[in-house]
Structure 1
Amino acid sequence: MPHYLIAQSELPEEREARRKRAGQSSGETYAATLAQMQPGIDTTIASPADADTPVFSAERLASFDAVFLTGSPMHVYDDGPEVDRQLDFMRAVFAAGVPSFGSCAGLQIAVAAAGGQVRKMPERMEAGIARRISATEAGRDHPLLAGRPPSWDAPAIHGDEVLELPPGATLLASNAVTRVQAAEIRYDRGIFWGVQYHPELALREIAIALAAQADDLVEAGLADRKSDVTTRAADIDALHDTPDSRALHWQLGIDGEFAEERLRRREIGNFLANLSALREG
């Protein structure tokens, strides 16, 4: 049975804050999603940014079938021991040759570890729904995006973005807000597939995250009032319970690629389906 390592870059206080809001840390969300997709798997959750987390040896990392990197509030362009520990961990994953997948900050961590650049988004955040993501020419035939239509929407909430991919990386998808929405990175002995959006999250978690960041969204100019954010979050929360609602599809301007859990998780499913090929590399 597969055994996956889930690396969450949230710090302890951030994990507890997320548990209070959404009931789970980001690593626990990933573990639950993977268990739903592959019942019976083993998962280990680690927090490499924490000062008291033991360093993973190359042999220990190689014992896992894959590594997953979660989203978090971490800014990888900040100087500090937490960021250094997280980047050192990711470089060790690349060196061990273990296939890895990450979303949001997980993508940014892999980019920075391999020599790329991440920045604070200069104009605004992308929050709630990442609109009209489209595969690049390289992405159209890439197995990470297998089954995606020419353009799709996805759950997203981030204020940082990839400025420059590292050498050995391939841009797979973009939209008008964030150029790097999906990428493959080949570095050292490893292969990483990642997305800026959140295929692992339930829609209710996106709704909770939106409501928690209402002040930031107003400040960023994405909403005029906190009540506007509350309304949008309530609609996304309702979609969690009634994904087939035609009224909510119309109100939110989305289709099944966003509303249906199975379709929303395509990239994770594609990664899992290609693990054997990725290990051979």
Structure 2
Amino acid sequence: MRLLIAESEPPADREKRRASVGRSSGETMRDLVQSLAPGATIDRATPADADGDIPDEATIAGYDAVFLTGSPLHVYDDTPEAAREVEFMRRVFASGTPSFGSCAGLQVAVAAAGGVVRSMGDRREAGFARRIAATEEGRDHPLLAGRAPVWDAASIHGDEVETLPEGATLLASNGVTAVQAAEIRVGPGVFWGVQYHPELSLTEVAAALRRQASDLVDAGLARARAEIEAQAALIDALAADPTRRDLAWRLGLDTELIDRAKRTTELRNFLEHLVAPTRATRGRGLA
């Protein structure tokens, strides 16, 4: 199996994240996907980079799946980075290669397919998206197979999907962000995406809060950076010992997020229910 991880982060943000947790978003996604598909060959692409080549349609078609990562990138900005990301996703759709994206990855796919992404203003989901629920269509969709009726997920974002592209299917929502999960089809391409981050560990959630502490204070989610640090410290402590029921209670978390297997549900479902059948139709077998 050949898989491609596309980093949505521009270079400066990639290095900032590496300084924080030791890995870029693409490296986090790569390591998790490798654990879910141990025999896979995984390559990385950096379409946002000015000096990075955007793979052409034929090259992308040689992969069994494409994963788009999260990023501080704003796809509605008129920047070369955003334009390159959107162009890359258009090529993914045209190639017919199954694709999955989290957070900005979902937003890139929406923009590439003709939908609309907007800033949330002072609203945020910071740390965790709460009380996500499947829509009627989502309850029977394989992306969400095995999810509880309502669940929390790792999430930190200040942009959201305003309008899904024509023909897309809304799969999940919550009280803060209307589009929490969706399927998008363009030509031969099928994309499954979520606004949250099934790939993030609790440690990476805590690090993301610290990196964005000033913005979260400005948005009114905390009165001072010390409050952000206190929340991040609780999350770090739970990451160090997931059996700490006291910390889970204080953070309002359950096994849907604490348990790694449940936390990564959407990625496993993508590989099992979309990638594997597509490989079979392409005659590529199971290896």
Amino acid at match of 2:201: A
Task: Return the alpha-carbon distance in structure 1 between the equivalents of residues 203 and 68 of structure 2.
Answer: 21
What's the counterpart of residue 157 of structure 2?
158
Q: How far off its partner does 1:122 sit?
A: 3.3
1:18-41: CA deviations, max 9, x gaps?
111110111111111111122232
Moved more, 268-277 or 167-176: 268-277
Query: Secondary structure at the residue paired with 2:152?
Result: strand
Amino acid at match of 1:276: A
Contact 1:191 1:278 in 2 (8 A): no
Moved more, 187-196 or 223-232: 223-232
Structure 2 segments unaligned to the other structure (5+ residues): 283-287
Is 2:169 the counterpart of 1:170? Answer: yes
Query: Secondary structure at the residue paired with 1:82?
Result: helix
Q: TM-score, normalised by structure 2?
A: 0.95
1:76-112: CA deviations, max 9, x gaps?
0000211111101000000000000000000000000
What's the counterpart of residue 276 of structure 1?
276
What's the counterpart of residue 233 of structure 2?
234
Moved more, 63-72 or 28-37: 28-37
Task: Return the alpha-carbon distance in structure 2 between the equivalents of residues 40 and 77 of structure 1.
Answer: 37
Task: Return the alpha-carbon distance in structure 2 between the equivalents of residues 273 and 165 of structure 1.
Answer: 25
Task: Return the alpha-carbon distance in structure 2 between the equivalents of residues 109 and 245 of structure 1.
Answer: 37
Task: Return the alpha-carbon distance in structure 2 between the equivalents of residues 174 and 144 of structure 1.
Answer: 14
Query: Secondary structure at the residue paired with 2:121?
Result: coil
Amino acid at match of 1:277: P
Query: Secondary structure at the residue paired with 1:193?
Result: strand
Query: Secondary structure at the residue paired with 2:133?
Result: strand
Instruction: Return closer, same or farther for 1:273/1:195 CA change in 2, 3 Å cut-off.
Output: same
Q: How far off its partner does 1:123 sit?
A: 3.9
Provide the alpha-carbon RMSD of the alignment: 1.2
What's the counterpart of residue 24 of structure 1?
23
Query: Secondary structure at the residue paired with 1:140?
Result: helix
Task: Return the alpha-carbon distance in structure 1 between the equivalents of residues 158 and 278 of structure 2.
Answer: 30
For these two proteins, the number of residue pairs brought into alignment is 280
Task: Return the alpha-carbon distance in structure 2 between the equivalents of residues 222 and 45 of structure 1.
Answer: 35
Contact 1:138 1:171 in 2 (8 A): yes
The alignment-based identity, stated in percent, is 59
Contact 1:244 1:259 in 2 (8 A): no
Q: TM-score, normalised by structure 1?
A: 0.97
What's the counterpart of residue 196 of structure 2?
197
What's the counterpart of residue 94 of structure 1?
93
Q: How does 1:55-94 map to 2 (within 5 A)?
A: 55-94=54-93
Contact 1:107 1:195 in 2 (8 A): yes
